[in-house]
Amino acid sequence: MLSMKVVDIERFGGSDVLKMDELPLPTPKEHEVLVKVHAAGVNPVDYKIRAGHYPAVKEDALPYVLGRDAAGDVIAVGPEVTKFRIGEYVFGMPGIRRGAYAEYVLLKENEAAHVPAELDYISAAAVPLAALTAWQGLFRHGRLRAGQSVLIHGGSGGVGHFAIQFAKARGAQVITTVAAEHTEFARKLGADRIIDYKARRFEDEVENLDMVFDLIGDETQDRSFGCIKRGGVLVSTLNEPSQERAAERGIRACRYTVEESGEDLSEIGRLIDAGLVKPHISRVFSFDQAPEAQDFLEKTHPEGKVVLAVDAMEMETPVTSIP
């Protein structure tokens, strides 16, 4: 039986529980494609799952292969697949039970999209989860439109750096909170106004916003209510906003979880090809450095994305960054 290398966990814990393993090579079913993974993105959800802090993955899911971003080549297709052919270059966010820290991964046809011509494998792997989270938060849940104002908390991270670019591409006025050392990065992304959250209280600086996009949660979320005008919206990827406070202020407030969507990825890809959006790669690690990659992301909070080069040759590939 053919096999593949994966990085998985058999128990929850620190980065030391990550290990290289071998599993049987999967076979695509009706609407699935089998992708030879060249690169996989590393996201905060990965170390939250590893630590046992993600409700959707409990002990009954172990052993568990991590990773929600994949970019690579289609090597086999299910009998009902119509969008993709063998040899095509695709990226996607696999479902929660199909990890991308692997030499091969199954993607459902509706989870994948053709990679934008502008991107190499490493850059493509940086896109799916973070970009989909930003896209769906801003437009599906926040309904952000041209001419509106949005405050993006945490604009220098994986989701935030896409959110700034998407909002600007849509024609919105973009304010973001970042640490002082990330100010120049946020400016290059296109933010109209940048607030050093360690030096200044954002609620003293902005008011009457159409939207707050909360990627921080807790106290930051609580302080955000007063910045939003009546009829506005607070959208969070973290804790559920108070519906009582939202009703008192006449705003809409929600928490959401990103959904797999090849259709949304195709829209994002068009913006990338148009030169309006670029993924920023903070650092690339080799496949066997998955523990170090997770530690780096968790402990340093880098600008943009961290990526695993599953194929060793990709370590030598130039990557896309913000000019």
Is 264 inside any structural domain?
no
Q: Distances from the Cα of 78 to the Cαs of 30, 33, 106, 240, in angstroms? A: 5, 6, 10, 39
pLDDT 10s digits, 252-308: 999 999 999 999 999 999 999 999 999 999 999 999 999 999 999 999 999 999 999
Same domain, 138 and 248: yes
Give 321's pLDDT tier (boundaries 50, 70, 90): low
Cis omega (within 30 of 0) for bond into 94: no
Is 183 inside any structural domain?
yes
pLDDT at 43: 98
Same domain, 134 and 113: no
Same domain, 74 and 143: no
Is 268 inside any structural domain?
no
Are 141 and 56 contacting, i.e. CB atoms less than 8 angstroms apart? no
Is 270 inside any structural domain?
no
Asked if the model's pLDDT at residue 151 lies above 60, the reply is yes
In the chain, % of residues over pLDDT 70:
98
Q: Could you give the CA distance from residue 303 to residue 281 in angstroms, rounded to a whole number? A: 8
pLDDT at 320: 52
Asked if the model's pLDDT at residue 1 lies above 90, the reply is no
Q: Could you give the CA distance from residue 51 to residue 317 in angstroms, rounded to a whole number? A: 31
**Model's pTM, two decimal places?**
0.96
Mean pLDDT value across residues 187-191:
98
Same domain, 70 and 155: no
Asked if the model's pLDDT at residue 318 lies above 60, the reply is no
Is 322 inside any structural domain?
no
Same domain, 137 and 179: yes
Asked if the model's pLDDT at residue 185 lies above 60, the reply is yes
Mean pLDDT value across residues 180-194:
98
- State whether residue 262 is helix, strand or coil: helix
Same domain, 143 and 226: yes
In the chain, % of residues over pLDDT 90:
95
Asked if the model's pLDDT at residue 154 lies above 90, the reply is yes
- Residue range(s) defining the domain that contains residue 137: 130-255
Same domain, 248 and 312: no
Burial letters 108-124, b for 16+ CB under 10 A, else e:
bbebbbbbbebbbbbbb
Domain count for the chain: 2
Asked if the model's pLDDT at residue 319 lies above 60, the reply is no
Same domain, 118 and 155: no
Q: What is the CATH number of the domain that holds 192?
A: 3.40.50.720
Q: What is the CATH number of the domain that holds 289?
A: 3.90.180.10
Same domain, 167 and 242: yes
Is 261 inside any structural domain?
no
Asked if the model's pLDDT at residue 322 lies above 70, the reply is no
Tell me how many helices (H) and strands (E) the chain has: 9, 16
pLDDT 10s digits, 57-109: 999 999 999 999 999 999 999 999 999 999 999 999 999 999 999 999 999 99
Asked if the model's pLDDT at residue 312 lies above 70, the reply is yes
Is 226 inside any structural domain?
yes
Same domain, 113 and 135: no
Strand partners, 214: 153, 236
Mean pLDDT value across residues 224-252:
97
Is 273 inside any structural domain?
no
Same domain, 19 and 110: yes
Give 181's pLDDT tier (boundaries 50, 70, 90): very high
Same domain, 44 and 138: no
Mean pLDDT of all residues belonging to the chain:
96
